[in-house]
Structure 1
């Protein structure tokens, strides 16, 4: 099914008739089917749409050392017809494009980073196109690109807008300009976090994760899964405190996995990275899952993510395994957890968050 953004683009297929195109972060796996006769490249920073685009079911894994030492990060490519789909945090290779289309993210600072990255791979006289939902930030997106060149609205429909920027000032993309490195603290314990715009826990430790970490047992054993790891805050905390643990850090975002690898490196610990759409295609067994899971699709609350994760969490937990989870209090986790786990205990609660322990 075409997203609203892609339905708007489908009204403007003549825009794609000429040039060499790169599409960044399409909101669905189906719009490119309408461009099947033209060669193009697609950069996916999110594994869910990538896997659907290339019909891949299973997750992809890599050691944290391999990602942290390679600026291209976690990179998987697959050709589908005339289209090259790549799952990676950044644009790789030396190819230059006449046009780059960005499906805008909800975080403005992430969009600014994507604009700089897109502009750096344009040919002279190239264009950047932005498509997004009106309430998702597209109306202010053109203001972020004023240093690149003039922008104009091309079309609007389905509560979305399409904007084209004629790039006159080609930027240089330097990763170090966007990386944020700082020290987080819980009680007396300190550890280092490396993050990028658009990655959960960027620039600060959120209160929910802080509460979760303060309630974790001091002695865990076996294989630990940091689900929706973001910048690797939970996994690096656990592994630095308990070096004997075998850590797996999972996220749908290539940017998050890249940051998690850098975070683990900064703390002198290692683990396994896993790119996956939730727990779909994950067959490993874990002794414990620790998570501050997402509950949004774009700007909308999406309970289907919660339901699917809880069901799959029980499947991948070993016998007598545990799930430690923090969530906003308004989310219906207690009832959903009780449907799948034999015991569910609240460990802590604030006016905003609750921490739950579930036993298989």
Structure 2
């Protein structure tokens, strides 16, 4: 089977003599078949490798199970700070002098890797260059564990912990602020079971928990799950946080309130799939008279979905860039 992703096509040209683990990879059938296992924060990738019978884990799991062995290939992400975090993590968990290859697209920042490696005292050999991608080889240097990449900042009366792998890293975006303004007056004062779908850095989860609600945060990204857990802990707040694809991790559960600021980008592509499921399946996970509150860019086609799922809804706020919607289960 021929690889489809350009970076994987570059890898396919190399002669390999031992199984190789992949870190932060794209979805690619050839890569799933050829690799020994995967480390990723993306649940979709973890599920794909697990379905192929390969070890799959997040970087935040205990180091039990199948260890990273043989060659390791890091797919350099478009977010430079995230690439630095992955490199630091690999140097923490792998023995010194472990062979490491780094591959990526030219428009994704891979050309900066030789400088990054030089700054860390790591060797760098260029192995290949094609399809607007480059492949470099190096060896790990042992690093002590550090939390430097986790950004800590104050906002909304909370201490927030952010990771470069999370959407909206290091700030409270305009949509979230508008949503919280509506929730301040729209939520009941008595504690409710609240689901924060797409919890990100935990801003909404912590804000809700601070007001006494029983919060469950869900996100498809392990980076987001870990960030939300750290944000809750930093504020001395309780809450459950799970990695899951929309409602898949919540069988047979129901909530009084569902709150969400759902993303609509997957890499560079516009993707409505997760939000479509969020809206269409919401009545199945809401208690009687339960409510959905969500914020979205004003141009996104969500009113029709809300109408179909709930028969009626209202717009609580509209600042021309973002709209906050509210719908109630009958």
TM-score range, shorter chain: 0.7 to 0.9
Decide which moves more: 107-116 or 335-344: 335-344
**Which aligned pairs between 1:176-255 and structure 2 lie closer than 5 A?**
176-185=147-156, 190-216=157-183, 217-219=186-188, 221-241=191-211, 243=212, 245-255=213-223
Q: Using the alignment, how far apart are the partners of 2:233 and 2:93 within structure 1?
A: 29
| Cα shift at 1:44 | 2.1
1:325 lines up with 2:315 in the alignment: no
- On the 8 A contact 1:338/1:344 being kept in 2, the answer is yes
Partners of 1:99 and 1:122 within 8 A in 2: no
Output the CA distance in 2 between the equivalents of 1:163 and 1:272.
40
Match of 1:77 in 2: none
CA deviations on 1:317-357 (whole Å, 9 max, x unpaired) are 22222111111122112222222122221111223211111
Tell me, in whole angstroms, the C-alpha distance in 2 between the residues paired with 1:184 and 1:175: 24
Structure with bigger strand share is 1
Equivalent of residue 72 in structure 2, options 91, 100, 110: 100
Distance across 2 between alignment mates of 1:51 and 1:231: 23
Number of residue pairs the alignment of both structures matches: 321
Structure 2 Cα separation of the partners of residues 270 and 156 of structure 1? 50
State the SS of the aligned residue for 2:199. Answer: coil
The alpha-carbon deviation at position 42 of structure 1 amounts to: 1.8
Change beyond 3 A, Cα 1:328–1:153:
farther
**Aligned partner of residue 310 in structure 2, secondary structure:** coil
Paired position in structure 2 for 1:58: none
CA distance in 1, matches of 2:6, 2:95: 25
Q: Distance in 2 between matches of 1:291 and 1:252?
A: 13
Q: TM-score, normalised by structure 2?
A: 0.85
1:308 is aligned to 2:277: yes
- Computed over aligned residues only, the root mean square deviation of the Cα atoms, in angstroms, reads 2.8
| Aligned counterpart for 2:57 among listed residues 52, 77, 86 | 86
Q: Is the 8 A contact 1:3 1:27 kept in 2?
A: no
Q: Which residue of 1 aligns with 2:12?
A: 11
1:118 aligns with one of 85, 90, 93: 90
